Amino acid sequence: MSPFAALATTITLEDIKNKAVGDFKPHETAVLALSADCQSQGYQAICLPLTTTKWQERWKNMCIVPSVEDAANEAAIAADKEAEAWRKSPSFLLDEVTITRLDEAEFVLAMASEWLRLDSDDDWVRHDSGIALRQEVAYASYLNVHTIILPPPRNRSQVASYARVINECLKSIPYMQFSVRLPIYDPAVFQSKEPSSPTSHGDHGWSGASSPPHAPTTPPKLATPGSFPPGSLRSTKAPEGELNATWEMWDIIRNVCDYNIRLTLALDLTPPLPANAGVLGRWAAEPVTHIFLPASAFIANVKGYPHRPTFILSGVRCGLHAQGGESAYAQYVKYLEKSSPSVQAMKTEGTVENFGQGYQDYLQNPLQPLMDNLQSITYQTFEQDPVKYHNYEEAIYRALVDLPDSDRIVICVAGAGRGPLVARSLKAVRRSNRQAFIYALEKNPTAWITLQERKAKDWGSPVELVFGDMRHVELPEKVDILVSELLGSFGDNELSPECLDGAMRFLKPDGISIPSSYTAYLAPLSSSKLYNAARESRELKGVETPYVVMFQNVNLLSGDGGGVGGRCGPKIQECWDFVHPRGDVAVDDRGLPFTNSHNVRAARLCFHIPHAGVMHGFAGYFEAVLYGHVGLSIHPQRKDYISKDMLSWFPLFFPLREPLYLPSNSEVQVSLWRLTNDRQVWYEWFAESFLPVFNSPSPVDQSEDVLGPDGSFFASTSTHVAVPSPLIDAIDAFPLTPRSVGPRTGAESARSASGVVKIGQTALHNPGGRSSWIGL
Amino acid sequence: MSPFAALATTITLEDIKNKAVGDFKPHETAVLALSADCQSQGYQAICLPLTTTKWQERWKNMCIVPSVEDAANEAAIAADKEAEAWRKSPSFLLDEVTITRLDEAEFVLAMASEWLRLDSDDDWVRHDSGIALRQEVAYASYLNVHTIILPPPRNRSQVASYARVINECLKSIPYMQFSVRLPIYDPAVFQSKEPSSPTSHGDHGWSGASSPPHAPTTPPKLATPGSFPPGSLRSTKAPEGELNATWEMWDIIRNVCDYNIRLTLALDLTPPLPANAGVLGRWAAEPVTHIFLPASAFIANVKGYPHRPTFILSGVRCGLHAQGGESAYAQYVKYLEKSSPSVQAMKTEGTVENFGQGYQDYLQNPLQPLMDNLQSITYQTFEQDPVKYHNYEEAIYRALVDLPDSDRIVICVAGAGRGPLVARSLKAVRRSNRQAFIYALEKNPTAWITLQERKAKDWGSPVELVFGDMRHVELPEKVDILVSELLGSFGDNELSPECLDGAMRFLKPDGISIPSSYTAYLAPLSSSKLYNAARESRELKGVETPYVVMFQNVNLLSGDGGGVGGRCGPKIQECWDFVHPRGDVAVDDRGLPFTNSHNVRAARLCFHIPHAGVMHGFAGYFEAVLYGHVGLSIHPQRKDYISKDMLSWFPLFFPLREPLYLPSNSEVQVSLWRLTNDRQVWYEWFAESFLPVFNSPSPVDQSEDVLGPDGSFFASTSTHVAVPSPLIDAIDAFPLTPRSVGPRTGAESARSASGVVKIGQTALHNPGGRSSWIGL
């Protein structure tokens, strides 16, 4: 496979007509000739309209009546009958399609008729556009076309009908990819409604406004500079709502299509782009498989798009940039891709991007090193990490230096594995010029063999091996420094706290634990790819479980800055931490805690969501303090300062069972618990969404039920309480949550206060720890 | 089973103590003696605290430390160790429980310790309350107690933790009912936070504010008149948010417990009630199994509560109403129930309530009379309806009278069944003194036998029987009046439009169809019972399908009045209608339509939701015009005017796969489609929710990503478009939907406009008609 994204070029009806007048070899056609030309120029595919203007004319004549006055005449009746005959068995005439042969279709991305109005406000136009699309899709499928590009949705209020038809097509055609062409930003969606003529075909009994679409010859409306007032071009600010509109339509479409994996996005970069990176970032979490790049607006930021989409160039034959010739556009796209930071990083050895190739957005079950004994190959993979061990050595060195000089400093490496931390400890001892003795403790009987070999070969007498579980074995003496590496992607998720509770017995009262603490971090995340992957995995396993994932097609939904009401924390928030040693746990005679209650944790976090998005789960990270200022971090905003290029941990992904829609400027309140019983540790999670509200008008509701539909108990006109009953009426329009409210006496204060209103919630995930870490 | 709701009375610890000093028979105990007393007074159960003050004291001493200063002393360390020992194996001492024997527990509704703070802001209090509750539940289960009443949640911000513990209990104990005690309205939820002393037991490393609960001796806080400012008692208006708060807590609890059917509500009517019927109506859609009625606030509206809950009376021995004695309360509750309108209706023959007994909230699959030939028993059931046939006769009579006099008026009864409409037609003919001839058309070969019998016995020569499907057979002549009854609960859902398309061939150009039209109506609905029933049914069938249901435990969520922005329609909205005959359908030589496209329908409805609720689906109704002003209706607000006591149709229920949370004053936009292909007709449905927004402040978002966590394409600082690119920034806080916006030039107008913001959506239901009406 080519390391680059595929390139396609657009063929117009004009191109085909021009080519058709030339000479062909026997059995060749204009489309085949164009296809051969394009392939010789280095394009992997051609993007082609599936139908001709003949089809458009026939459809229009059948399905659109010019005006109301003419609706009753002979021609209209004939058109009606013709339309009914077509609806009964929809099919093309030969001159209505651009391709007819399998070989013509081979390299084709077929564009369905752009003038179809699947989201028209007119019921008949919508209905007949749906029949036409199904006909086109069926024809493309007949020719074995693998991808069809759908006309863009243009009407926010009818997008559910658009989506419903696409879902119908997806269900009826088994293999084809359906790609929704969509501009990132399209002010046309907000233009005034379609003009009111021509009208649709007769009044067939549908109620509702019958404002039909533009004459079907009008191409999709896209923003042009002319649609803004003169002089305001660069200062125009698009309101959040308009920036959301096209994404919101996409969200409805993929939701109505139940996240079908054959439904993808063809992002159209033809209209002007908004400059707001936060608004654009959301597209990174969507299945973008095609990008339309017009030669007329060649842009400078086509770098390292993570999805490897096909770039569809258009207008490359118009001579707009004559200097480089037709192929300059394709070369430039390849150059930009090659020089992008993420592609560069992927090609550079030692980076996470290079190390993690093939693991992007791939769900892995977290390790359970306490329950399972790791394989040698697993140890070897993690031992490749140069940063982690470097930082460990540095932490041990500094701890040694800080200790009062002594003729015998005792170190214990708890969980020595195949020995890398023992080796680093020895190096740190040498560097510090201290006299130190090392106990290497390991419970994995197979790694134990490797440790014996290393002691015999490399380490000798300064190291003593001790076999056993750190929660049960005894050491002959107390130690000054306890070194361990039991951390998971979320810090505590491989049961480091529970294991170290056992090992803390070894530590002298003023001893040092490396790590000295670790913190778990969380952020809400959107990713249709991860949602689908988790859904699939769930069907197999029937559990809700966190996964280890190298994130790629994801978008963190949260923002910094506290949100509209200043109630929210930062983009990525701290859940809890664990500190070692901790002196406040009651322990028994052997120094072990009575219960694991002190390792239970609960976090309630509030995130600000600046731009509308769909939450599919949470990203989990950790940061550990090894000693002093030396640490390990996979926190996205801090990892490069603390442990750049560390490879050992991908983040954790906590999936949601059902996506949760979050509007712009909303807040999401996440509850996360770390729970434990005698044998297991697990997480449960739950979220509620809120929207800030302001000084709202307070209409008195005139619609109170006098009697419920079922004549039920409470729905009577009077509910007088006999004895101590102050009667209370509801009049305020907007509720406030307790968080923002002190004691109040009446409605007055509510009206001037600003607060939040609850708008949604998730299920409780992983209740009872159906997915858990076992081994206590 | 008793026709009345069960009654229980509350036994206090004081009652037990007082009884304990009396004389017992051998093997009797104070609780057994009290239980016997109560049963002899007509109570079916006693409501009893499960634990004594001894338990409360021990728990408090172990788990709550008096103050920070003392935390380090000897006693605190001892308490800590004692607590850990308890956490390891939680158990009671003998004097800490009120019952110990199976026979004592037999009639007991056990109240878990009310002072437990499962939703404390203090992590340790919450944790230890959870252990205590699990211990109490396990003990109650040991004694075979069937119902445990849980302490009320009191802290909105920690209710998810409360809910999580309840879910844990539900999962660990297989049979017990768990009933959450909850006041309908509790201003205490909004009081200032718990006082800051005493503190919890030591700092165990949890972050977050450590404000512990009231001293556990404090009973649950309930509203008293004293909590309102003097003089403002009756004029105080509770804001919507406060009225929602207790319901919102319940909603989180049942949602976190995944609508477990063993989780129920014990509504506490002790605090003052709000007078707003709309706010109260929501409780009718919830599984209320117990109602606490304090003697001190005996109320006058305990009538016909649909759930038949157990009424738990308290304080009946306090002598507050000395005149009637202890049993007067119970008698009064029974009297009120007996005299309630809904119980009265249920006892009156001829009412829907009487007819439908046993069918309340029971999901039935709608009939498919076109595909299935009905059984004689089904015909007989529907023929019992006196109103329907009366109205048909009246409609036929009026049509006959309105027709110009003629020596031969021809009537066709299309779908004659066992003949009731033929008989009514003959009666109408007799009443009108017209000369009429009747064709009785039927395709069901078994009903056909009955028709032959009736013709031979009752009807004679004015009636001619024709066997066959009205879409295919021919009649020897055209008719003046076409009578049919092919209506379903939603009007068109038994394919009346498709069948009548065929029968319209028989009608003279100026002929009359009875019915002349029918309209489908929809309203959003909440009902945890129907949600659970549909979910269960779905697991069996794997389809999303509308059901026929006699609604009882339901609450229509919508309100009249247009909503905050005036954008919404009424409480129950019209979807579409069908009119017969209609002249605008193109037909073939035989008079049959070419396709069924003209029977496709689409509705987009916008409902105002005055009070927060959870939408579980939609209620569907129909209304038909038979002729002139004679009709049939099951529209809740109109049925009593049009066809009171008509029995033949229960409403339709369109279920949602997942509940959709709707805040107060939100709007829900419903898309409903009636779809068709060659063989089937089906509905699909989808909904989006919105919240109105007003003049909001527009904070400039300072939190834009400079680089996404994955270094993705769009997350770069500049996204300059080379050629025609007006740069656009997002600054507005609140989006507006297209509906409320014309063309705009910038943010200025957005800020002063009022609009709606999208907050949620459902899946597309029944895509592709997996559940459909077959037989075209």
User: pLDDT for A262-304, tens place per residue?
Assistant: 999 998 887 766 666 666 778 888 888 888 877 655 543 433 3
B7-51+97-188+242-339: CATH superfamily: Divalent-metal-dependent TIM barrel enzymes (3.20.20.150)
Distances (CA, A) of A337 to A285, A333, A344, A695: 19, 6, 9, 49
* Separation of alpha carbons B277 and A99, rounded Å: 65
Name the helix (H) or strand (E) containing B346: helix B341-347
Average pLDDT, chain A: 81
The whole-number average pLDDT for the span A73-101 is 91
Residue A760 scores a pLDDT above 50: yes
Residue-wise pLDDT for B193-228, tens only, equals: 443 333 344 333 333 333 333 333 332 222 222 333
Interface test with A, best of B712, B737, B752, B772 (most A CBs within 10 A): B712
Residues A59 and A196: beta-carbon distance below 8 Å: no
> Would the annotation count B392 as a binding residue?
no
Residue-level pLDDT at A40: 87
Cβ–Cβ gap B281/A708 under 8 Å: yes
User: Could you read off the pLDDT of A594-647 as tens digits, one per residue?
Assistant: 999 999 999 999 999 999 999 999 999 999 999 999 999 999 999 999 999 998
Contact residues on chain B for A718, CB-CB shorter than 8 A? 275, 300-301
**Per-residue pLDDT band at A332 (split at 50, 70, 90):** confident
Is the pLDDT reported for residue B727 higher than 80? no
pLDDT above 80 (res B300): no
Q: Which of A704-708, B84-88, B230-234, B242-246 has the lowest mean pLDDT?
A: B230-234
The pLDDT value recorded for residue B569 is 95
Q: Please tell me the distance from the alpha carbon of residue B684 to that of residue B695, in angstroms, as a whole number.
A: 36
Partner residue opposite B711 with nearest CB, options A257, A341, A688: A341
pLDDT score of A307 more than 70: no
Tell me what pLDDT residue A694 has: 67
Sorted by where each begins, the domain ranges of chain A are 7-51+97-188+242-339, 370-485, 518-695+754-775
Q: What is the dihedral sign for C-alpha B581, B586, B592, B596?
A: negative
pLDDT (0 to 100) of residue A364: 85
Say yes or no to pLDDT of A48 above 60: yes
Check whether the bond before A570 is cis (ω within 30° of 0). no
User: Tokens 């996409």 correspond to what residue?
Assistant: A250
Q: What's the pLDDT score for residue B538? A: 76
Q: What is the pLDDT of residue B675?
A: 95
Inter-chain CB proximity B586 and A81 less than 8 Å: yes
Rank A26-35, A222-231, B436-445 by mean pLDDT and report only the highest.
B436-445
pLDDT category at B322 given cuts 50, 70, 90 is: low
B5 vs B31: CA distance, rounded Å: 24
* Pairwise pLDDT comparison (A427 vs B362), residue with the higher score: A427
B238 at the A interface (CB within 8 A)? yes
Give the Å distances, CA to CA, from A434 to A248, A407, A408, A509.
64, 8, 8, 20
The answer to whether the beta carbons of residues B458 and B477 sit under 8 Å apart is no
The pLDDT of residue A709 is above 50: no
Active site residue ranges of A = 485, 494
Cβ within 8 Å of residue B377, ≥6 positions away: none
- Residue % of chain B over a pLDDT of 70: 78
Band of pLDDT at residue A388, cut at 50, 70 and 90: very high
Residue B510's pLDDT is 92
Q: Where are the beta strands (DSSP E) in A515-559?
A: 517-526, 547-548, 555-556
B728-764: per-residue pLDDT in tens?
222 222 332 333 333 333 333 333 336 888 999 999 9
Q: Are B773 and B368 in contact (CB under 8 A)?
A: yes
In which element (H, E) is residue B333 found? Answer: helix B327-338
What DSSP assignment string belongs to A468-482? Answer: S-TTT---SS-EEEE
User: Which secondary-structure segment (H or E) carries A432?
Assistant: helix A420-432
SS3 content of chain A, % helix, strand, coil (to 5): 35, 25, 45
**Alpha carbon distance B746, A665 (integer Å):** 19
H-state helical runs in A570-663: 639-642
Percent of chain B surpassing pLDDT 90: 54
* B241 CB-near residues (< 8 Å, 6+ apart): A732, A734, A735, A736, A737, A741, A750, A755, A757, B664
Average confidence (pLDDT) over A715-725: 29
Compute the distance between CA of residue B720 and CA of residue B739 in angstroms, rounded to an integer. 31
Positive or negative: CA dihedral B168, B172, B174, B177:
negative
List the single range of A389-393, A719-723, B595-599 with lowest mean pLDDT.
Answer: A719-723
Q: Measure the N-to-C terminal CA separation of chain B; round to a whole number of Å.
A: 47
User: Best mutation site among B721, B736, B744 for testing chain A: the one with the most A CBs within 10 Å?
Assistant: B721
What single DSSP character describes residue A504?
A: G
Over range B716-726, report the average pLDDT.
29
Which residue of A704, A706, A751, A766 is the best one to mutate when testing the B interface, meaning the one whose CB has the most B CBs within 10 A? A704
- Mean pLDDT, rounded, for A485-500: 95
Please tell me the distance from the alpha carbon of residue B253 to that of residue B263, in angstroms, as a whole number.
9
DSSP-assigned letters across all residues of B228-263: SPTT-TTT-EE-HHHHHHHHHHHHHHHHHTTT-TTE
Distance from CA of B25 to the nearest CA of A (A): 41
Determine whether the interchain pair A767/B164 forms a contact, defined as Cβ–Cβ distance below 8 Å. yes
CA of A600: which chain B residue's CA is closest?
B127
With bands split at pLDDT 50, 70 and 90, how would you rate the model's confidence at A435?
very high
Q: Which of residues 718-757 of A touch B (CB under 8 A)?
A: 718-739, 741-747, 750, 755, 757
Closest among B340, B259, B107, B279 to B656, alpha carbons compared:
B259
Question: Which pLDDT band holds residue A184 (cuts at 50, 70, 90)?
Answer: confident
**Under 8 Å CB-to-CB from A690, ≥6 apart: which residues?**
A666, A667, A668, A669, A737, A756, A757, A758, A759
B133 beta partners: none
Q: Are B500 and B580 in contact (CB under 8 A)?
A: yes
In three-state form (DSSP H/G/I as H, E/B as E, the rest C), the secondary structure along B135-161 is: HHHHHHHHCCCCEEEECCCCCHHHHHH
By the CB < 8 Å criterion, does B709 face chain A? yes
Q: What is the CA radius of gyration of chain A?
A: 33
Residue with structure tokens 């004895």?
A723
- Tokens standing for A119? 């989201």
Q: What is the pLDDT of residues B357-401, one digit of tens each?
A: 778 888 888 888 887 888 888 888 888 898 999 999 999 999 999
Q: In angstroms, rounded to a whole number, what is the distance separating the alpha carbons of residues A472 and A283?
A: 51
Chain B residues whose CB is inside 8 A of the A160 CB are: 604, 671, 686, 688, 764
Distance set, CA A199 to CA A118, A458, B583 (Å): 16, 89, 19
Residues B83-135 have pLDDT tens digits of 999 999 999 999 999 999 999 999 999 999 999 999 999 999 999 999 999 99
Kindly report, residue by residue over B165-176, the tens digit of the pLDDT: 999 999 999 889
Tell me the pLDDT band of B4, cut-offs 50, 70 and 90. low
| Chain centre to alpha carbon of residue B158 | 26
pLDDT at residue B419, rounded to an integer: 95
**Span B518-695+754-775 CATH architecture:** Distorted Sandwich (2.70)
Q: What confidence score (pLDDT) does residue B239 get? A: 66
Report ipTM (2 d.p.).
0.82
Mean pLDDT, all residues of chain B: 81
Are B179 and B150 spatial neighbours (Cβ–Cβ below 8 Å)? yes
Reduced to 3 states (helix: H, G, I; strand: E, B; else coil), residue B545 is: coil
Residues 6+ apart with CB under 8 A from B634: B489, B621, B622, B623, B643, B646, B649, B650, B651
Q: Is B678 annotated as ligand-binding?
A: no
Q: Chain B within 8 Å of A581 (Cβ-Cβ)?
A: no
Cβ within 8 Å, pair A208-B604: yes
> B693-716 burial string, b = 16+ CB within 10 Å, else e?
bbebebbebebbbeebbbbbbbbb
| CATH dotted code for A370-485 | 3.40.50.150
pLDDT reading at B277 higher than 70: no
Which of A167, A274, A578 is nearest residue B767 as measured by Cβ atoms? A167
Under an 8 A CB cutoff, do B734 and A241 touch?
A: yes
CA–CA separation, A713 vs B281, rounded Å? 8
- Average of pLDDT values for A416-442? 96
pLDDT for residue A707: 33
Is the model's pLDDT at B726 over the cut of 60? no
A306 and B239 in contact by Cβ < 8 A?
Answer: no
Higher pLDDT, A207 or A49: A49
Q: How confident is the model at residue A448 (pLDDT cuts 50, 70, 90)?
A: very high
Given this model, what pLDDT does residue A449 score? 92
pTM of the shown model: 0.84
Query: Which residue, among A98, A395, A598, has the nearest Cα to B124 in the 3D structure?
Result: A598
Sheet of B507-514, strand order: B463-467, B436-442, B409-414, B479-484, B507-514
Q: What average pLDDT does range B480-493 have in this prediction?
A: 96
The dihedral of CA B145, B151, B156, B159: what is its sign?
Answer: negative
CB contact under 8 A, B277 and A684: no
A171/B236 Cβ within 8 A: no
What is the pLDDT, as a whole number, of residue A723?
A: 28
Is residue B738 classed exposed, middle or buried when 0-12, 13-18 and 19+ CB atoms within 10 A define those classes? Answer: middle
Residues 339-398 of A with CB under 8 A from B: 340-342, 345, 353
Q: Phi, psi (5° rounding) for residue B631?
A: -150, -175
Least confident of A35-44, A137-146, A698-707, B558-567: A698-707
What pLDDT is stored for residue A473 in this prediction? 94
Which range scores top for mean pLDDT: A62-76, B231-245, B689-703? A62-76
Overall average pLDDT of the B518-536 stretch? 94
Name residues whose C-beta falls within 8 Å of residue B404's C-beta, 6 or more positions apart in sequence. none
**CA–CA min distance B759, chain A (Å):** 6
- Do B204 and A744 lie within an 8 Å CB cutoff? no
